[in-house]
Structure 1
Amino acid sequence: MNSLNKQNAINFYRTAYEGNPRKAIELYVGKDYIQHNPDVANGKQGFIDYFERMQVEYPDKSIKFVRAITEDNLVALHTHQIWPGNDQYVTMDFFRFDGDGKIVEHWDSIQQIPEKSANPNTMY
């Protein structure tokens, strides 16, 4: 189940991020959806509203999935996002799955990639 959850988390995030959050919710989310990101309203409709707005305001954004890690009913995604104007972010998203393999809870941490770093390593 872990590898299926991992692929479903990636598919869910990609589908929503690339402009179809309603389809992402229909395919990959369980009965309830608990949201911990303070910029996104709780529940399925809050998620749909946020990502539909992001698609209208920022249609040229892109995402690369750098790594995905599973443990029990949790999946962690480490991503590299590029927004208009080369505004880049590293994100960590955590998804909790129910017994049916559907996403029911989400947490994230987002950090902007600075222009200068004290070391030569990437943030991802």
Structure 2
Amino acid sequence: MLSALVLVQPAQAQTPSQPRNLAAEETNRKLVVDFYNRVFNQHDVAAIPSVVSDGYKQHNPLVPDGRAPFVNYLTKRFQENPQARSEIIRSATDGDLVWLHVHSTANPQDRGRAIVDIFRVKDGKIVEHWDIIQFVPEKSANQNTMF
């Protein structure tokens, strides 16, 4: 019969979190909101280099890492969907992260997608991005909207 000895390390004592710098968080939120409206609503991909770092890290599996691939991806997307719009419903911050809750549509007839975009900002540039995307259904089991 085999037996195993498992050593468990005691949990590390948690240090108190750093106090939030709400002014810096608001600066980051404004940077991301302005960027998002300019790029995703005005389709101004030329604005991307001034806000997105060259080493931009992307967690959306459809888009490669880096600023140039991001520009290429959005350029093609906006050419294929010239009426695409993304309405920011709400935003939030925590440290260097900015969250956007967005209603994205390809055209006025599209029910769209509910998106949560999360951006990490460092030194005044967007350096990382995650998103969670869900299609807006025609019918819902409840009376609540997705927004």
SS at match of 1:38: coil
Q: How many residues align?
A: 122
TM-score normalised by structure 1 residue count: 0.92
1:48-107 alpha-carbon deviations (Å, 9 max, x no partner):
011101110000111111111000000000001121341411000000111x12110000
- The 5 Å alignment of 1:101-120 reads 101-120=124-143
List, as ranges, runs of 4+ consecutive aligned residues in structure 1 with deviation greater than 2 Å.
Answer: none
The TM-score normalised by the length of structure 2 is 0.78
Give 2:97's aligned residue: 74
Identify the structure with bigger relative contact order (alpha carbons < 8 Å, sequence gap 6+). Answer: 1
State whether residues 70 and 76 of structure 1, in contact with CA within 8 Å, keep that contact through their aligned partners in structure 2. yes
Partner amino acid, structure 1, of 2:112: Q
Larger CA Rg, structure 1 vs 2: 2
2:30 aligned counterpart, secondary structure: helix
State how far apart, in whole Å, the 2-side matches of 1:11 and 1:109 are.
20
Percent identity for Structure 1 against Structure 2: 38
Q: Is the 8 A contact 1:21 1:47 kept in 2?
A: no
Q: Which runs of 5+ in 2 are unaligned?
A: 1-23
Cα deviation for residue 112 of structure 1 reads 0.3
Matched residue SS, 1:108: strand
Kindly indicate whether the alpha-carbon contact (under 8 Å) linking 2:53 and 2:67 is maintained by their aligned counterparts in 1. Answer: no
More strand by share: 1
Is the aligned partner of 1:44 residue 2:67? yes
- Per the TM alignment, residue 30 of structure 1 is displaced from its structure 2 partner at its CA by 2.8
Contact (CA 8 Å) 2:55, 2:65: kept in 1 or not?
A: no
Within the candidate set 90, 93, 109, 2:117 is matched to 93
Distance 1:88 1:11 in 2: 21
